[in-house]
């Protein structure tokens, strides 16, 4: 990483202080909405919302299906902050920019991060519209040295060498499975391993076979950096992938994936995802406080 990409503690603090001066909400939960899943934020009551362009230090969203708004509000009485649109490495952002909001959330007092994404299915039993609870991830760019924690470690956030086992909180995964059972969502519920690739191209057939052999059940171009940084600074993490397409693994298969198809399936299931996330947040063991 070059020094121009380094963001210092004061930069995160300035953005956090600006947000704290603009809203009375004091969120303990942050939600990052994946492609086409921004509707999750619409469920927040007593909203204060900010366009990314108006927030000092915030990067800008450039991808269709990512509105570029930060929404504060209450979900079933629990104060949340919701990113309607995330940042991806392929947009040209450095990984410290991609994960900038996560450290700002930490400084706002957030304790739990919920991430959602649209992802392609590598696992044979998965169908379009399935919801996968993320059990673990393979951070392919990270393994190759593209890591948001590169550079001098900021000890105020976390340790130089953070563990990555058990990052996706087991209690939250259990709670989500119980909720899905009670809402009758179990028939399209999966639990598996998400693999992050750099994108922006979708995978070749040989790459898809390779990722499947590695143990990945779903593939996408986000999430791992945000989760890594959240875990590094001590947040609890819960993640959901919405399966929007099957990744082609067979040379006889002529199907071609595209972003419009991804957004179409996201839209179809976004209400279900909203119900699940709302129920999960309502059952989190947290107390609200306001400014």
With CB under 5 to 8 Å by kind, the binding choice for 120 among ligand HPA, ligand R1P, none is ligand HPA
- Residues at the site binding ligand R1P, with contacts judged by CB under 6 A: 34-35, 63, 86, 88, 117-118, 199, 220-222, 259, 262
The number of residues in the chain equals: 291
Sign of the CA dihedral 144, 250, 263, 131?
Answer: negative
Is residue 61 marked as binding? no
Question: What values do phi and psi take at 283, rounded to 5?
Answer: -100, 5
CA angle 179, 182, 186 (to 5 degrees): 80
Specify whether 35 is catalytic: yes
Residue appearing with tokens 């199907």? 255
Q: Which residues ranging from 214 to 253 are in contact with ligand HPA (CB under 6 A)?
A: 219-221, 244-245, 247
Instruction: Specify the residue, 179 or 247, whose C-beta has the smaller distance to ligand HPA.
Output: 247
Say whether 245 is catalytic.
yes
Pairing of strands 112-121, 236-246: parallel
**205 three-class SS:** helix
Count of residues interacting with ligand HPA (CB under 6 A): 13
Our answer to whether residue 66 is catalytic in this structure is yes
Q: Are 99 and 83 in contact (CB under 8 A)?
A: no
What would the x/- binding string for ligand HPA be over residues 254 to 273, using CB under 6 A?
A: ---x----x-----------
CB of 129 to ligand HPA, least distance (A): 13
| CA 137/CA 45 separation, integer angstroms | 32
Which among 223, 16, 227, 234 has a CA at the least distance from the CA of 105? 16
* 61 touches, from ligand HPA, ligand R1P, none (C-beta below 5 to 8 Å by class): none
Report the catalytic residues: 35, 66, 88, 90-91, 118, 221-222, 245, 259
Positions touching ligand HPA (CB under 6 A) are 118-120, 202-203, 219-221, 244-245, 247, 257, 262
* Residues of the binding site for a purine D-ribonucleoside: 203, 245
């Amino acid at each position: 990483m070059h020094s121009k990409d380094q963001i210092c503690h004061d930069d995160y603090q300035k953005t956090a202080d600006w947000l704290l001066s603009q809203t009375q909400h004091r969120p303990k939960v942050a939600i990052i909405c994946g492609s086409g899943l921004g509707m999750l934020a619409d469920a927040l009551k007593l909203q204060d919302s900010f366009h990314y362009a108006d927030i000092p230090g915030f990067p800008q969203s450039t991808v269709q299906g990512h509105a570029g708004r930060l929404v504060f509000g209450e979900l079933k009485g629990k104060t949340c902050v919701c990113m309607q649109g995330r940042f991806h490495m392929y947009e040209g952002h450095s990984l410290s920019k991609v994960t900038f909001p996560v450290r700002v959330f930490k400084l706002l007092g957030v304790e739990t991060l919920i991430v959602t994404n649209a992802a392609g299915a590598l696992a044979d039993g998965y169908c379009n519209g399935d919801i996968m609870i993320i059990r673990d991830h393979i951070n392919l760019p990270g393994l190759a040295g593209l890591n948001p924690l590169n550079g001098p470690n900021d000890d105020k956030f976390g340790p130089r060498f953070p563990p990555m086992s058990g990052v996706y909180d087991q209690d939250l995964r259990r709670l989500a499975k119980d909720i899905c059972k009670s809402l009758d969502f179990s028939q399209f519920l999966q639990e598996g391993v998400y693999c992050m690739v750099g994108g922006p191209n979708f995978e070749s057939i040989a790459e898809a076979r390779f990722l499947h052999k590695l143990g990945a059940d779903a593939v996408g171009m986000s999430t791992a950096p945000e989760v890594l940084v959240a875990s590094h600074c001590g947040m609890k993490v819960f993640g959901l992938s919405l399966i929007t397409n099957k990744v082609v693994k067979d040379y006889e298969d002529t199907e071609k994936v595209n972003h419009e198809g991804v957004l179409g399936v996201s839209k179809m299931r976004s209400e279900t995802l909203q119900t699940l996330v709302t129920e999960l947040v309502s059952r989190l063991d947290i107390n609200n406080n306001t400014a």
